Amino acid sequence: MTQSTDLYSILKYYAEKIRSPYIDATAFINFLKIYAARQVKEQPEWYRWTRNTASQFWTEIRPLMESGQCEFLSATNSERLYMPHYYIEMVQQAYESPDTTAMLPFPSENSLKIHFSDEEIQIIDLDHDLPLYLKKKEEPSENSPQILRLLFPDEYGSALILSSMIPRQLLETALIKVRGYLHSQGNKEYVLHKLTLRLQGKEGYLRDILNQLLVRPLDCLTKLEEGGENSSYFWVCFCSMVKNDIKKKSEFLTEDLAMLQTVCLLEACNSFYQIQSIKKREREVALKNLDLQLDKPPFLYSLEAITKFTSPKGVLLMGQYSPADLDAYIKSKTIPAADQKMPELLIISGKNSERWYIKRDKLIPYCLQLCNAARPKIRGTLDKRWGKFIREYRREPAMDKDEEFEKLLKFYIENLTPILAAVLRSNWLYLVYAETIRDREDDIPESYQFFINDKLVPYANLLLLNRKEILTDIRMLLPFWYSIPFFVALISFTQGFTKKPMAGKYSRDEPNEAPERGAAGPSPQDRDPGRELRNMAKKLEGDLVPSRYTLDTYLAELESRWGRLLNKQGRQELVTDVNVLIRDRLRQTLRLQKRLKLTQETLKEIAETMIFSTPSLKSLSGQDSLRTYIMLYLIKHLQNEPISKM
């Protein structure tokens, strides 16, 4: 074998020759001079080492020391070099020809004739430490390889292995040892016969994997790492059979010890990969459940809400995948695929740095849902605001001009429904809408149109609110003289001398402004018009609420009977909407009937009329419970709210 003439190769050769990483500099220079003189006759390139050997050596050793390939150790009587990669390269070399050592145990300190103290080497127990080490090895590392001492159970010895060889190269060596075992003494037929009894129904798979181990053993490694059911069960049965057969012997041969080490290693790795495969399947199922949850109402979720998703069995999904898995999922869904213009998951940003996530195909229906939910809220606020103005014979620009009406609606959307405002501001709404209607522009319902000529339609169209209709409805609930233009103009003119005109600007406090009841001045008999109603409501509470309940607990019980949505947030929103409808109906009734006679029949009539005239209430289950709930909620509201605020 021709020896390379570079200094590092010569140092490696000399260290192997003396079997030590510590090299005396003077002795090595003498060796180099004599060795070069012998080689120069056949290889002229050695000539440079025959002249000024010491000077040439010290010149070329500096770059090696700077690169860390060797270290200089200075002592009182001698100068020594240390080769830090000596043992690492020795272990690497021991695994270079696994076919020739297939019937031998794994390389150890005894077989390599070296020794490390426990402080100089990392010790890995096969049963206890290897699974943790394998899990840590899943994270890529750029650290230089370390020498490990792998301890086998039951006094089966140990093995020296580099950290960079775990697990791939170590398992490749083990599979080659399994091939050697199957080749020797007809063990293949014996294994086939023994395992056929345990793998009934899988005989074809058993023959295939044994043939693969004999011909291409490294191909079995991928299946082992995947942790599939058939592969995992085969290795459990195979390793158990081999161990039991060898343990029956009174004395272990070298090849017996080699196979005991091999099957112990394969058992530990197979168990690890099987557990990892189960966790991977659980993670995939959990991420699928996460994806399905995003398809359910309310469709728009914050990151905090996503971390609280549960499986159909109520198990928290966050425990089945890691935060890194969730981040990777969101990142993959919020980046457009190669064949798509938009991502599957869209990000909606709020004014205060809030971030919500929604599926692309849910954005348009969700926006429509928000508009439907905002309509009664904003309409109710407008009724209060303009009702107060009309009773006070005042006006504001939004009552007369559509552009001012739009400004008022925008103000209410921003303050009463901030999520709707965020969705309408988002660029995604236009992009998704344009993609949705590309092929169906002629058959889109008017209520579904969000954009016309690439511009957002007026807020009045989105909310289906008509300025003139609102004013007409408000005046219908007021005395007739509020609808006589001449009379209203006269009063307004008279008040103009004492009141400042409306500026047409809106503050954040105005949406909650309650209308005042328009009367010239209460008579002594009407100073507390709600006292009689409260007394009647208190009496009816005692008649309708069972003795074992309070009013609030009985309302909660009834609510659980008709509000049966599984989604907690959806159920709460449903209850809130029903309560708003009840209060609105009560206000309308009190306006039309100034002297309302409160009886069970009156309450029942209000409840039945309300259910009959509201399709969404008619569709709810538990109609009897809903009717009783409406009656009792009316009683509660009459007791708690002054009549002047209704």
Mean pLDDT of all residues in 168-177 = 93
- CA dist., res. 289 & res. 325, Å (int): 14
Contact 306, 357 (CB under 8 A): yes
Q: Which helix (H) or strand (E) holds 147?
A: strand 147-151
Query: pLDDT: is 128 or 643 the higher one?
Result: 128
* Higher-confidence position of 615 and 35: 35
pLDDT-based confidence at residue 307 (cuts at 50, 70, 90): very high
Least confident range from 46-55, 285-294, 446-455, 486-495: namely 486-495
CA gap 31, 36 in Å, rounded: 8
**Phi-psi sector, 349: left (phi>0), alpha (psi -120 to 50), beta:** beta
Which CATH number goes with the domain that contains 54? 1.10.10
Residues 408 and 502 in one domain: yes
Domain range for residue 590? 528-645
Give the pLDDT score at 76.
55
Residues 148 and 271 in one domain: yes
Give dist(CA 645, CA 640) in Å, integer: 11
Q: What is the pLDDT of residue 494?
A: 55
Cβ atoms 607, 631 nearer than 8 A: yes
Clarify whether residues 97 and 246 are in a common domain.
yes
331: in domain: no
- Domain assignment present for residue 213? The answer is yes
> Same structural domain for residues 475 and 547?
no
pLDDT of residue 573: 81
Q: Is residue 169, in this structure, part of any structural domain at all?
A: yes
- Asked, for residue 339, whether it belongs to a domain, the answer is no
- Looking at the fold, whether 157 and 185 belong to one and the same domain comes out as yes
Could you tell me whether strands 301-302 and 355-359 are parallel, antiparallel, or unpaired per DSSP bridges?
antiparallel
Please say whether the beta carbons of 283 and 320 come within 8 A: yes
3-class state of residue 596 by DSSP: coil
Look at residue 39 and tell me whether its pLDDT is greater than 90: no
Average pLDDT over residues 636-642: 75
Residue where a domain terminates, one of 228, 251, 276: 276
Residue 336 lies in a domain: no
In the predicted structure, residue 479 carries a pLDDT above the cut 90: no
Based on the fold, state whether residues 262 and 382 are members of the same structural domain: no
CA 583/CA 641 separation, integer angstroms:
10
147 and 260, same domain (yes or no): yes
Per the structure, the count of domains in the chain is 4
Check: pTM over 0.75? Answer yes or no: no
pLDDT on residue 508: 46
Pairing of the two strands 22-24 and 79-82: antiparallel
Residue 330 has pLDDT above 70, yes or no: yes
Residue whose token pair is 């490990």: 148
Average pLDDT, the chain: 83
Q: CB-hemisphere CA count at 13 Å for 385?
A: 26
Mean pLDDT of 588-599: 70
Dmax of the chain from CA atoms? Answer: 134
Tell whether 298 is covered by a domain.
no
pLDDT, one tens digit per residue, over 45-98 is 888 888 888 888 888 888 888 888 888 887 656 788 888 888 888 899 999 989
How is residue 291 written in tokens?
A: 């994806």
3-state helix, strand, coil in the chain (%, to 5): 60, 5, 30
Please give the backbone phi and psi of residue 24, each rounded to the nearest 5 degrees, phi first.
-75, 125
493/239: higher pLDDT: 239
- Domain membership of residue 299 (yes or no) is no
User: Measured between alpha carbons, how far is residue 343 from residues 339, 407, 596 in Å?
Assistant: 10, 33, 58
Count how many residues are written for the chain.
646
**Confidence at residue 272, expressed as pLDDT on a 0 to 100 scale:** 92
CA distance 206 to 31: 58
pLDDT at 446 > cutoff 60? no
> CB–CB of 168/221 below 8 Å?
yes
Evaluate the omega torsion of the peptide bond into residue 44 and state whether it is cis, within 30 degrees of 0.
no
* 44, 411, 505, 545, 587 from 32: Cα distances, Å: 15, 91, 97, 108, 108
What was the pLDDT predicted at 604? 85
List CB contacts of 471: < 8 A, sequence separation 6 or more. 386, 390, 399
Alpha-helical (H) ranges within 511-596 are: 531-544, 551-562, 568-592
In angstroms, the CA 626 to CA 610 distance is 11
State how far the Cα of 87 lies from the Cα of 29, in Å rounded to an integer.
Answer: 22
Report the phi/psi class of residue 314: left, alpha or beta, with left for phi > 0 and alpha for psi in -120 to 50. left
Strand 451-452 to 455-456 pairing:
antiparallel
| Residue among 123, 134, 119, 129 nearest 160 (CA) | 123
Residue 384 has a CB neighbour count (10 Å cut-off) of: 19
Cβ–Cβ < 8 Å for 347, 426: no
| More confident position, 514 or 268 | 268
Whether 381 shows a pLDDT value over 70: the answer reads yes
501 and 557 in a common domain: no
Would you place residue 326 in the very low, low, confident or very high pLDDT band (cuts 50, 70, 90)?
very high
pLDDT of res. 103: 92
Compute the average pLDDT of residues 156-166.
91
Domain co-membership, 509 together with 571: no
Helix axes 402-416, 363-391, angle to 10 degrees: 120
Mean pLDDT across 369-396: 88
Residues 311-323: tens digit of each pLDDT: 888 889 988 898 9
Confidence band (pLDDT; 50, 70, 90) for 439? low
- Structure confidence at residue 294 as a pLDDT band (50, 70, 90): very high
- In tens, the pLDDT along 180-221 reads 999 887 788 889 989 998 888 888 999 999 999 998 888 899
Q: Are 435 and 418 in contact (CB under 8 A)?
A: no
Cβ contact 345:357 at 8 Å? yes
Inside any domain, residue 302: no
Does residue 266 share a domain with residue 189? Answer: yes
Give yes or no for residue 127 having a pLDDT over 80. yes
> What is the band of 570 on the pLDDT scale with cuts at 50, 70, 90?
confident
In this prediction, residues 530-543 reach a mean pLDDT of: 79
- Does the structure show a pLDDT above 60 at 35? yes
- With a cut of 70, say whether residue 501 has pLDDT above it: no
Which of the residue ranges 116-125, 366-375, 527-536, 546-555 would you say has the lowest mean pLDDT? 527-536
* Percent of the chain whose pLDDT exceeds 70: 85
Do 494 and 592 belong together in one domain?
Answer: no
Final residue in a domain of this structure, among 496, 516, 536: 516
Q: Which of 516, 543, 564 is the last residue of a domain?
A: 516
